[in-house]
């Protein structure tokens, strides 16, 4: 409930958190760092990577829990750096390194946690970059309201893909998946007036600016935005640069009018009122 707080122990210190916060949110507010990978603040917690595990003591029992999704609650005792926590994070990093041996973020993480390159046999393709964090799937559903991609298969075959591994008909080319992907596994390339998204194997035509002619956004994404604003779609759209220029020119005109004395309302207009 709004305004309510809970008190619990974090690394031996009594802290206060807003009701409804996760342990990770409470720790961050208290200045305690807990590493995350699949978590993104704009998205619902998913608890996929287990990098954020902490040791939680509740009713006399100690368990490892994902801090990004475990709710902060009255009377908990949470430790963020115990040997059990460190061992678990190391194992997570070793598994990720075995899956994605060439991803810089994973290599850095493994090095920071003291995981040797060959600690586990290589499980993925050398060029595998997806850690199955699900950020792309969640941003598409939660933020955009689409279902362009989803998880497919189980076990070692598990991956994120468009339906049937073909072009994603639901993709509008917003590229939100590119922005939230922590490893760079999702890529968007603009070429020949088309936007190509990989690994979704999806291509979308780009709309050209009616002023400068440069292609700047997928038509589907602009239609989607206009739909949200309940405004009709005008294909004669300006790119952001030309729109800013147009606004700048309009402001300049207004300021010139102001200097010439006819704006803001001058004498004549006041007289007109009487
Ligand atoms: S493609 Fe990127 S965002 Fe999507 S699951 Fe894989 S690593 Fe996560
Ligand atoms: S960041 Fe918490 S499980 Fe991934």
Q: What is the pLDDT of residues 46-74, one digit of tens each?
A: 999 999 999 999 999 999 999 999 999 99
What atom of ligand 1 comes closest to residue 139's alpha carbon? 3
Going from the Cα of 202 to the center of ligand 2, the distance in angstroms, rounded, reads 29
Rounded CA separation 112/28 (Å): 20
Strands (E) across 133-265 are located at 150-152, 159-161, 187-191, 194-198, 202-208, 215-218
User: What is the average pLDDT value for the chain, to the nearest integer?
Assistant: 90
Which ligand has its closest atom nearest to the C-alpha of 34? 2
pLDDT, residue 117, reads 85
Ligand 1 centroid distance, CA of 131 (Å): 6
User: In 113-239, where does DSSP find H-type helix?
Assistant: 135-138, 176-180, 219-228
- Asked whether residue 77 carries a pLDDT value surpassing 80, the answer given is yes
Whose atoms come closest to the Cα of 51: which ligand? 2
**pLDDT greater than 60 at residue 226:** yes
pLDDT value at residue 2: 52
Q: How confident is the model at residue 273 (pLDDT cuts 50, 70, 90)?
A: very low
Output the residue whose Cα is nearest ligand 2's atom 3.
Answer: 47
- Strand duo 187-191 + 194-198: pairing: antiparallel
What was the pLDDT predicted at 261? 60
Q: What is the pLDDT of residue 274?
A: 38
Is the distance from the beta carbon of residue 176 to the nearest atom of ligand 1 less than 6 Å? no
Ligand that lies nearest to the alpha carbon of residue 38, given by its number in the listed order: 2
Residues 6+ apart with CB under 8 A from 17: 5, 6, 7, 8, 25, 26, 29, 72
Ligand 1 neighbour 135 (Cβ under 6 A): yes
**Ligand 1 atom closest to the CA of 186, numbered from 1:** 1
- pLDDT score of 30 more than 80: yes
Q: Which of 75-79, 120-124, 269-273 shows the highest mean pLDDT? A: 75-79
Q: Is 66 touching ligand 2 by the criterion CB < 6 Å?
A: yes
d(C-alpha 91, C-alpha 181), whole Å: 22
Band the pLDDT of 262: cuts 50, 70, 90.
low
pTM for this model (two decimals):
0.85
Distance between Cα 40 and ligand 2 center (Å): 9
pLDDT for the residue numbered 138: 97
Whether 270 has a pLDDT exceeding 70, the answer reads no
Residue 126 has pLDDT above 90, yes or no: no
């Amino acid at each position: 409930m709004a305004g309510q707080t809970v008190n619990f122990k974090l690394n031996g210190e009594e802290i206060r958190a807003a009701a409804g916060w996760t342990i990770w949110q409470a720790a961050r507010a208290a200045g305690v760092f807990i590493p995350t990978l699949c978590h993104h603040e704009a998205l619902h917690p998913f608890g996929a990577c287990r990098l954020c595990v902490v040791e939680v003591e509740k009713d006399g029992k100690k368990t490892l829990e994902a801090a990004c999704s475990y709710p902060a609650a009255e009377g908990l005792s949470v430790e963020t750096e115990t040997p059990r926590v460190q061992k678990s994070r190391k194992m997570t990093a070793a598994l990720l390194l075995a899956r994605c041996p060439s991803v810089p973020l994973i290599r850095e993480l493994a090095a920071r946690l003291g995981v040797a390159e060959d600690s586990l046999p290589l499980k993925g393709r050398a060029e595998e970059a997806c850690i199955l964090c699900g950020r792309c799937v969640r941003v598409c559903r939660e933020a955009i309201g689409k279902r362009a991609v989803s998880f497919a298969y189980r076990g070692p075959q598990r991956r994120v893909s468009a339906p049937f591994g073909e072009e994603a008909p639901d993709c509008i080319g917003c590229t939100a998946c590119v922005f939230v992907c922590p490893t760079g596994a999702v890529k968007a390339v603009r070429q020949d007036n088309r936007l190509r998204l990989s690994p979704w194997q999806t291509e979308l035509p780009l709309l050209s600016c009616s002023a400068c002619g440069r292609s700047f956004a997928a038509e589907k994404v602009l239609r989607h935005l206009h739909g949200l604003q309940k405004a009709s779609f005008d294909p004669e759209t300006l790119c952001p640069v030309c729109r800013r220029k147009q606004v700048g020119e309009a402001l300049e005109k207004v300021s010139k009018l102001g200097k010439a004395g006819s704006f803001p309302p001058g004498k004549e207009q006041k007289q007109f009122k009487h």
